[in-house]
Amino acid sequence: MVLCTGFLKMIGTASVALTGSTTGLSSRGLTTLSYVPPSASPTVMADITTNPSTSSTPAAPSPGIAATGTGARRSPRKEAMRVKSPLIYSHPMSSLENAPPIYLKLDALQPSGSFKDRGMATLCSTLQRQGARRLVSSSGGNAGLSAALCGRILGMPVQVIVPSTTKPLMLEKIRAQGAKVEVFGKNWNEADARARWVVEEGGREGGPEAVAYIPPYDHPLLWEGHSTLVDELVEGGREGGMEEAPAAIVASVGGGGWVVGVETEGAASFAAGLAAGEVVRLTEIQTVATSLGALEVTPRALEYARSGGRAGGRDGGQDKGPRLTLSEVVTDAEAVQACRAFLRDHRLLVEPACGAALALGYSPRLRKRLKAWSEAKGGRPVVIVVCGGSGITPEILVEMERGLGVGS
């Protein structure tokens, strides 16, 4: 799945930088990066019927409080657009050879099934407060599903434009949220162009605020919403038994990058851009982890990774110090095998896009790197973000295993 730039605004790895909160964790040798939130940080989970003019600077999001929708499609009860996800210690993964202590941030338990709810809750509620009455999304994956969920809760009609490659399973889930689904184009780029056109035409008919475009990953408010995961780690790490700051945070990436960004070989736009020092556009996506399928990374992800993601700053254009934002590339087989192992160990079924991050814990080839990062920080634990994903069933997982020639 296309992961966010929000993490890179708040983290530097392998020492892990966490800012935005002041807790005991931040005093234990963390390298902190400055983070200035947008001027209109929304109260995502409060009652959205509150008059936004009562405060020029709304309070910080409160993930556990539900929103109350308004309008014709209003949710019949209070319902959270995002929740504070559990942090648990993984004894099965930590017990593997050459494994460090591993904790899991279970964002697969967000309302729509993926971390996307964090950013979508922030973006959609802010757009409504600014006067938008209808939302148009261009993602046929987890972002589109999350936009549909948030729109339903907020009482806003949502149109999701998807490419012809979108799984029937995802089409059903998006429609089940009450969204209108239009299939257009053979890839996301064509569907996105259509979505932008729909927004432009809708704006002409009903005014510039009548309809709002919802990108799947490239928007500052999405990044800010996603970064609440870091706040939770800072504020609630001890609740999950993690007594010290992690040595590294591992997450899958597609269009945007997080601290240790993991991609599959056929969708490694972040790794290519990080190596080249500029955005690199892939010619095609060739991976079963289709949620990672961004042809190019958002420029902001590279900006954060290259400037804030190194210790020591820049001198005459030359990077100094060890890289704090890292990129790892795994095979489709490693990602799918990690999904199976995770299902066995923790009874949660996730997409191969999420399996890419989990592969660093399950693959003997990659696990040594987690151990090295941990040892470099005095044996601190590693956190793997279980970002989730809704485009998977047991039958689809078996089909992928057969196609890749890997057993269960």
Q: Which of 196, 214, 232 marks a domain boundary?
A: 214
- pLDDT on residue 221: 94
- pLDDT on residue 80: 94
Is 43 a domain residue?
no
> In terms of domains, do 327 and 372 share one?
yes
- pLDDT on residue 307: 63
- pLDDT on residue 388: 86
Number of folded domains in the chain?
2
> In terms of domains, do 280 and 198 share one?
no
State which amino acid sits at residue 81: M
> In terms of domains, do 194 and 248 share one?
no
> In terms of domains, do 276 and 161 share one?
no
* pLDDT tens for the chain, residues 1 to 408: 334 444 444 433 323 332 222 223 332 332 222 223 333 333 344 333 323 333 333 333 333 434 444 333 555 568 999 999 999 999 999 999 999 999 999 999 999 999 999 999 999 999 999 999 999 999 878 999 999 999 999 999 999 999 888 889 999 999 999 999 999 998 888 899 999 999 988 766 555 558 999 999 889 999 899 989 988 988 876 777 888 888 888 887 654 434 566 556 665 666 676 667 777 777 676 666 555 556 666 676 667 666 654 433 333 333 333 345 677 888 889 999 999 999 999 999 999 989 989 999 999 988 988 898 889 889 999 999 999 889 999 999 999 999 999 975
> In terms of domains, do 260 and 371 share one?
yes
Q: Does the model's pTM come out above 0.85?
A: no
Query: Exposure pattern of 264-300 as b/e (b: 16+ CB <10 Å)?
Result: bbbbbbbbbbbeeeebbebeebebbbbbbbbbbbbeb
- pLDDT on residue 188: 83
- pLDDT on residue 290: 56
Instruction: Check if the beta carbon of residue 257 is closer than 8 Å to that of residue 305.
Output: yes
Q: Which of 214, 231, 262 marks a domain boundary?
A: 214
How many helices and strands (H and E) does the chain possess? 13, 12
> In terms of domains, do 281 and 355 share one?
yes
- pLDDT on residue 54: 32
> In terms of domains, do 289 and 343 share one?
yes
Q: Which of 167, 198, 214 marks a domain boundary?
A: 214
Is 362 a domain residue?
yes
Question: What range defines the domain where residue 177 resides?
Answer: 116-214
Is 39 a domain residue?
no
> In terms of domains, do 370 and 291 share one?
yes
> In terms of domains, do 197 and 281 share one?
no
> In terms of domains, do 280 and 180 share one?
no
Give me the CATH number covering residue 175. 3.40.50.1100
Is 318 a domain residue?
no
> In terms of domains, do 347 and 393 share one?
yes
For every residue of 157-212, DSSP letters joined together read -EEEEE-TTS-HHHHHHHHHTT-EEEE-SSSHHHHHHHHHHHHHHHHHHH-TTSEE
Nearest to 186 by CA among 163, 214, 210: 163
> In terms of domains, do 250 and 397 share one?
yes
Is 229 a domain residue?
no
Is 366 a domain residue?
yes
Is 373 a domain residue?
yes
Strand-pairing partners, residue 168, are none
Is 101 a domain residue?
no
